[in-house]
Structure 1
Amino acid sequence: MTRPLVISDCDEVLMHMVVPFAQWVDEAHGVLFRMEDTSFANALKRKDCGTPLEAAEVWPLLDGFFRTEMARQYPIPGAVAAMAAIARVADIVILTNVGPDHQQRRADQLAALGLDAPVIGSRGGKGEPVRRLIEERAPSVTVFIDDLPNHHHSVAAAAPGVWRLHMVGEPAIAGRIPAAAHAHARIDEWAAAREWILARIAGNLPAPPL
């Protein structure tokens, strides 16, 4: 049995994303980002006429942002210090849905901040990648952190013994995203989140079913 494992998302957990993304699509593409519900795609509208973008137009914008504009991103308050504290007692893996094309950019982005952890650029639900990491590493206890409820559902199905923390570190959207039904806790600030994670690691028990 190896060390505890913390599997963390990046955007809106470790790094601000929607605010710098909104600034860029406005400046470069004439697109306004106004999140009025839980849908990221519905938040993107053409500045000149207010028409929502088609679903097929959303990923190219995200891809362009991650390809050329990641330097606009900045850390969620307390995230880097919390990860440093957690790394003293657990292994950390960053599981982020930027896809394989942007995996190295994300690793370089985090390493520049002092967070030198393996990065997996995935696509789709995170349950299977989490399950595979547990099979590979056999951790004594695992904690998963993400801002999107669907990923907590995915992990709950594929790896039910994982502790799941729902965190939305961006205040501009936190109030519009309900607590994930398949997470064990919702904490949006890192000071409290760090203590919750460390307590789960110290307890060294699998997560209970929800």
Structure 2
Amino acid sequence: MTRPLVITDCDEVLMHMVVPFAQWVDEAHGVLFRMEDASFAGALKRKECGTPLEAAEVWPLLDGFFRTEMARQYPIRGAMAAMTAIGAAADIVVLTNVGPAHQAARGAQLSALGLCAPVIGSRGGKGEPVRRLLDERKPSVAVFIDDLAGHHASVAAAAPEVWRLHMVGEPAIAGKIAPAPHAHARIDDWGAAQDWILARLSQNIPAAGSEQV
């Protein structure tokens, strides 16, 4: 058997994103970001008139942010120390939906902070990429961390043996997002999350057929 595997998202798990993104769209595009519920797209409104942006306008803004403004991002408190501790017990892969075009920049961003781990810039649901990682690496146990409930549902369907931790590390939006129903736990603090992850790795029991903890 190979080492345990931890597959983690980046934005709002390892790095703050919505706060620097909100500052940038305000300064550069005259757009206000005010997240009132779990809808990211619905939080973007034009400053002049308060009209919500169309869905087709959202990705170009995100793409522009990741293309030129990633230097504005900064680590979630405790995330890098937790990755160091977890990396002593497991392999780490960063699975982030920035897309292939921004994969190298994301890897450089994290490497500069001391996290030298493979980065996969995916798009869409994360179930299939997680399934591929499991089939390639055959870990004895695996943990998946993400802030979006949809990805937990995707991973639960494609790889039910993976432990799933729902984490929203950005305090500005954490209280507006309900716990993901397909996650085994919801923890927004890295101190407690590290303990939970290391416990799953130590037990070395796949999630499927195990009691939720």
Same fold per superposition (TM over 0.5): yes
TM range (shorter): over 0.9
Query: For 1:198, what is the secondary structure of its paired residue?
Result: helix
Aligned to 1:122: 122
User: Hey, what's the Cα distance between the residues in 2 that align with 1:87 and 1:30?
Assistant: 41
Q: Which structure 2 residues correspond to residues 103-122 of structure 1 after superposition, within 5 A?
A: 103-122=103-122
Output one character per residue of 1:26-49: Cα deviation in whole Å (capped at 9) or x when no partner: 000000000011110000000000
Aligned to 1:4: 4
Deviation at 1:69, TM superposition (A): 0.1
Output one character per residue of 1:97-156: Cα deviation in whole Å (capped at 9) or x when no partner: 000000000000000000000000000000000000000000000000000000000000
Amino acid at match of 1:171: P
User: Hey, what's the Cα distance between the residues in 1 that align with 2:179 and 2:116?
Assistant: 29
Amino acid at match of 1:28: A
User: Hey, what's the Cα distance between the residues in 2 that align with 1:137 and 1:121?
Assistant: 18
Output one character per residue of 1:24-82: Cα deviation in whole Å (capped at 9) or x when no partner: 00000000000011110000000000000000000000000000000000000000000
User: Hey, what's the Cα distance between the residues in 2 that align with 1:159 and 1:208?
Assistant: 9
Aligned to 1:180: 180
Q: Which structure 2 residues correspond to residues 114-153 of structure 1 after superposition, within 5 A?
A: 114-153=114-153
Q: Which structure 2 residues correspond to residues 151-170 of structure 1 after superposition, within 5 A?
A: 151-170=151-170
Q: Which structure 2 residues correspond to residues 62-77 of structure 1 after superposition, within 5 A?
A: 62-77=62-77
CA RMSD in angstroms, aligned pairs only? 0.7
User: Hey, what's the Cα distance between the residues in 2 that align with 1:19 and 1:149?
Assistant: 20
Q: TM-score, normalised by structure 1?
A: 0.99
For structure 2, the 5+ residue unaligned runs are none
Q: Which structure 2 residues correspond to residues 23-62 of structure 1 after superposition, within 5 A?
A: 23-62=23-62
User: Hey, what's the Cα distance between the residues in 2 that align with 1:29 and 1:196?
Assistant: 40
User: Hey, what's the Cα distance between the residues in 1 that align with 2:84 and 2:133?
Assistant: 21
User: Hey, what's the Cα distance between the residues in 1 that align with 2:114 and 2:69?
Assistant: 20
User: Hey, what's the Cα distance between the residues in 2 that align with 1:75 and 1:117?
Assistant: 15
Deviation at 1:92, TM superposition (A): 0.1
User: Hey, what's the Cα distance between the residues in 1 that align with 2:71 and 2:164?
Assistant: 29
Amino acid at match of 1:179: P
User: Hey, what's the Cα distance between the residues in 1 that align with 2:35 and 2:114?
Assistant: 31
User: Hey, what's the Cα distance between the residues in 1 that align with 2:37 and 2:179?
Assistant: 14
Q: Number of aligned pairs?
A: 210
Deviation at 1:208, TM superposition (A): 3.6
1:199 aligns with 2:199: yes
Query: For 1:67, what is the secondary structure of its paired residue?
Result: helix
Amino acid at match of 1:200: R
1:171 aligns with 2:179: no
Q: Structure 1 vs Structure 2: percent identity of aligned residues?
A: 80
Aligned to 2:96: 96
Runs of 4+ in 1 over 3 A off after TM superposition: none
Deviation at 1:171, TM superposition (A): 0.3
Query: For 1:2, what is the secondary structure of its paired residue?
Result: coil
